Copies of this chain bind each other. A is one copy, B any other.
Amino acid sequence: MTSFYKEHQKIFLSVDCIIFGFEENKLKVLIGKRKMDPGRGEWSLYGGFVRNDESLDEAADRTLYELTGLRNVYMRQVGAFGSINRDPGERVVSVAYYALINVTDYNDKLQAEHQVEWVDVNDIPTMFSDHNDMIRRARKLMQQKIKTEPISFQLLPSLFTLTQLQRLYEAVNGEEVDKRNFRKRIKEMEFIERTDLIDKQLSKRGASLYRFNKKMFEKDATFKL
């Protein structure tokens, strides 16, 4: 292969995943203790190096798959983090991605194996390198996104109650919302359809289960929360 750019320097490139999940009415992030020097033992996002034969998006997908066994997960790029000394070992530029997963899809065996934990996003410890910044930015981007795109369903089981959906919005935005106003807006969205199924786990009376109808959304195509 010819080398067009040989006078320039190459740099290590990694990806880091901010994996969001919704559990116990809280927005959580999957983090673990770093298993590599330097920084071994510090709280850290799960990440990996980018290979020459994969795109950044592919590297992020692969990394997420290694950790969770999940494919076709909703992932979006947060941005590139490139301070000179962000990694104490060597110069490494990292591209952060956030992922939204349904916690019940997540294989417990893999979780135990990688020793990662779900931590409340409001209660993140001090982390390795610039990982706290990455989480902050990912959260902000996700908050913006959830206002204009129906991504909340990525964090829920395919059948969910309106209370679950409301608690999810509250956890993401960090503030409570009025139940009646919330439900009013949801009812206007035809792509959030009520099933005849009833969930009795949380209440004696039972709550209707709803589902997100993707095809209907794509026709309808307005969303605003």
Residues of chain A touching chain B, judged by Cβ–Cβ distance below 8 Å, are 1-5, 8-13, 36-38, 49-57, 59, 77, 79-84, 89-93, 95, 144
**Selected A-B contacts with CB under 8 Å, 18 pairs:** A2-B89, A4-B36, A5-B90, A5-B92, A9-B50, A9-B51, A10-B13, A11-B11, A11-B12, A13-B13, A50-B93, A53-B84, A55-B84, A56-B80, A59-B82, A77-B80, A80-B95, A82-B95
Question: Would you give the shortest CB distance from A164 to chain B, in whole angstroms?
Answer: 29
Q: Which B residues touch A84, using CB under 8 A?
A: 53-55
Nearest 4 pairs of A and B residues by beta carbon = A56-B82, A10-B10, A4-B89, A8-B49
9 other contacts beyond A3-B90, A9-B49, A11-B52, with CB at 8 A cut-off? A2-B89, A9-B51, A10-B10, A10-B12, A11-B13, A11-B50, A13-B13, A59-B82, A77-B79
Q: Which B residues touch A95, using CB under 8 A?
A: 80, 82
Given known A-B contacts A8-B49, A10-B10, A90-B4, A57 and B38 have beta carbons under 8 A apart: no
Question: Would you give the shortest CB distance from A84 to chain B, in whole angstroms?
Answer: 5
A82 contacts which of B38, B57, B90, B91 (Cβ < 8 Å)?
A: B57
Q: Which B residues touch A59, using CB under 8 A?
A: 82
Asked if residues B82 and A50 are in contact (CB atoms below 8 Å), the reply is yes
Asked if residues B83 and A55 are in contact (CB atoms below 8 Å), the reply is yes
A2 to B16, CA, bound (A): 23
Given known A-B contacts A79-B77, A79-B80, A93 and B12 have beta carbons under 8 A apart: no
